[in-house]
């Protein structure tokens, strides 16, 4: 497979991530979730979250540089900023008038089942959306890659990520998009450098269930031939991922997990972080994507929204099987 050109040394800024609907993720542990009576819980963690913020965290854990641009509103927004500062995540907050959302992750320790409960979040007005675009445009600077990840908050038009794509192109950078629903369809209409989608999102694109590498190939061929993406990466759960360009398709089979799956929250964000960090460091596309599959596998071994262990990801990378097929 032909890989993207090596990063231009002149464009060496950090990876920029955009999170329009961030969260403060609160993770609780309970021994057993009872239907009647009180459930006594222990607070496992409280961290800033949301697609792009999770990606920025993952990039940093892999030794890269990232700058997270995100919205922040009222008391929870203030708490989000404080949490990110304490964690050492470089970020720029765009102030909004309504409250940033909080999400709850409930881990039942006896069954090892995890429940991720996420509200829709605040509505943004037209002025706040424009401020996000302007701050993003100013932040890009010399950065080669911009990652737009996560859902759109209410109030923003479905084509908002298309406007993001135009800003990124105008700055001479490359957009990595990871979203769903109408926001995904409108973003692809503008065209992006790389799209990462899961089985559910992929099924929406082709109108049928995606269960296999052959199904993923149909998705990726559609994205490549229509010009929606230069690189298409479709993840297929426990099977792994298919990475495609106009030159062909690479199957990356996920490694065998050394433990129980605890939570899939953040696995996709971890993959995008590893992919983008690898490309920024000069890795070829397949190498970067294989690392992404390993990081996603490491992520599901952690409870709640906890970040992956880089050493576990490095171990799992050895078990990723890679098969290339040229385009017909």
Domain 15-22+49-100+123-326 homologous superfamily, CATH: Ribokinase (3.40.1190.20)
Q: What is the pLDDT of residue 11?
A: 60
pLDDT for 304 beyond 80: no
Of 166 and 300, the one with more pLDDT: 166
Euclidean distance between the first and the last CA atom of the chain, given in angstroms as a whole number: 13
User: Which residues share a beta bridge with 148?
Assistant: 18, 177
Residues 3 and 284 sit within 8 Å (Cβ to Cβ)? yes
- Read off the pLDDT of residues 252-290 as tens digits, 9 standing for 90 and up: 999 998 877 777 777 899 999 999 999 999 999 999 999
Predicted confidence (pLDDT) at residue 90 exceeds the cutoff of 70 = yes
Per-chain mean pLDDT for the chain: 92
Q: Which helix (H) or strand (E) holds 68?
A: strand 66-73
Mean pLDDT, residues 165-182 taken together: 96
The predicted pLDDT at position 260 comes to 74
Checking if the pLDDT of 4 tops 60, the result is no
pLDDT at residue 328, rounded to an integer: 60
For residue 7, name the pLDDT band (cuts at 50, 70, 90): very low
User: Among the listed ranges 56-60, 61-65, 130-134, 298-302, which one has the minimum average pLDDT value?
Assistant: 298-302
Instruction: Report whether pLDDT(222) > 60.
Output: yes
Q: Which residue has the tokens 């881990």?
A: 107
- Give yes or no for residue 227 having a pLDDT over 60: yes
Question: Does the pLDDT at position 203 exceed 90?
Answer: yes
pLDDT of residue 35: 87
pLDDT digits (tens, 9 = 90+) for 106-122: 888 888 888 889 999 99
Please tell me which residue, 218 or 7, carries the higher pLDDT value.
Answer: 218
What is this structure's pTM?
0.93
12 has a pLDDT exceeding 70: no
Does position 9 have pLDDT exceeding 80, yes or no? no
Which residue blocks in 246-309 are alpha helix, DSSP H?
Answer: 267-280, 285-299
Quick check: 305 and 25 in contact, CB under 8 A?
Answer: yes
Provide mean pLDDT across the span 32-51. 91
- Crossing angle for the helix pair 160-170 and 181-190, nearest 10 degrees? 30
The mean pLDDT of 4-27, rounded to a whole number, is 78
Q: Is 269 a catalytic residue?
A: yes
Is the per-residue pLDDT at 230 higher than 90?
yes
Between helix 160-170 and helix 126-140 the angle, nearest 10°, is 30
Q: What is the pLDDT of residue 307?
A: 84
- In the predicted model, is pLDDT for residue 1 greater than 70? no
Confidence of residue 160 (pLDDT cuts 50, 70, 90): very high
Q: Which of 204, 206, 238, 203 is nearest to 222 (CA)?
A: 206
pLDDT surpassing 80 at residue 326: no
Active-site annotation holder among 134, 269, 284, 309: 269
Contact 317, 270 (CB under 8 A): no
Domain boundaries, the chain: 15-22+49-100+123-326
* Contacts (Cβ under 8 Å, ≥6 apart) of 141: 13
Q: Residue count of the chain, please give it.
A: 328
* 284 alpha-carbon distance from chain centroid: 20
For residue 6, pLDDT over 70 is answered with no
Q: Average pLDDT of 35-48?
A: 91
């Amino acid at each position: 497979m032909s890989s993207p050109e090596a990063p231009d040394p002149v464009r060496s800024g950090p990876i920029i991530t955009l999170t329009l609907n961030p969260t403060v993720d609160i993770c609780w542990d309970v021994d057993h979730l009872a239907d009647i009576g009180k459930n006594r819980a222990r607070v496992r963690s409280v961290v800033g979250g949301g697609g792009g913020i999770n990606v920025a965290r993952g990039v940093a854990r892999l030794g890269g540089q990232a700058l997270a641009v995100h919205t922040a509103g009222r008391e929870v927004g203030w708490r989000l900023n404080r949490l990110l500062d304490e964690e050492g995540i470089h970020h720029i907050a765009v102030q909004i008038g309504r409250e940033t959302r909080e999400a709850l992750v409930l881990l039942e320790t006896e069954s090892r089942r995890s429940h991720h409960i996420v509200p829709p979040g605040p509505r943004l007005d037209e002025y706040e959306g424009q401020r996000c675009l302007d701050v993003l445009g100013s932040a890009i600077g010399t950065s080669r890659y911009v990652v737009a990840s996560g859902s759109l908050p209410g109030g923003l038009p479905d084509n908002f990520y298309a406007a993001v794509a135009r800003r990124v192109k105008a700055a001479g950078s490359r957009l990595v998009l990871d979203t769903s629903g109408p926001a995904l369809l409108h973003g692809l209409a503008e065209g992006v450098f790389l799209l990462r989608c899961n089985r559910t999102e992929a099924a929406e694109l082709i109108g049928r269930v995606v269960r296999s590498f052959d199904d993923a190939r149909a998705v990726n061929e559609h994205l490549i031939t229509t010009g929606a993406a230069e690189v298409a990466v479709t993840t297929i759960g426990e099977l792994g991922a298919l990475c495609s360009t106009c030159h062909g398709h690479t199957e990356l089979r996920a490694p065998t997990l050394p433990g129980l799956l605890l939570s899939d929250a953040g696995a996709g964000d971890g993959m995008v972080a590893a992919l983008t960090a690898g490309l920024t460091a000069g890795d070829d596309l397949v190498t970067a994507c294989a690392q992404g599959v390993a990081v996603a596998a490491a992520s599901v071994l952690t409870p709640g929204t906890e970040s992956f262990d880089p050493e576990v990801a490095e171990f799992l990378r050895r078990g990723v099987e890679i098969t290339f097929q040229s385009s017909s």
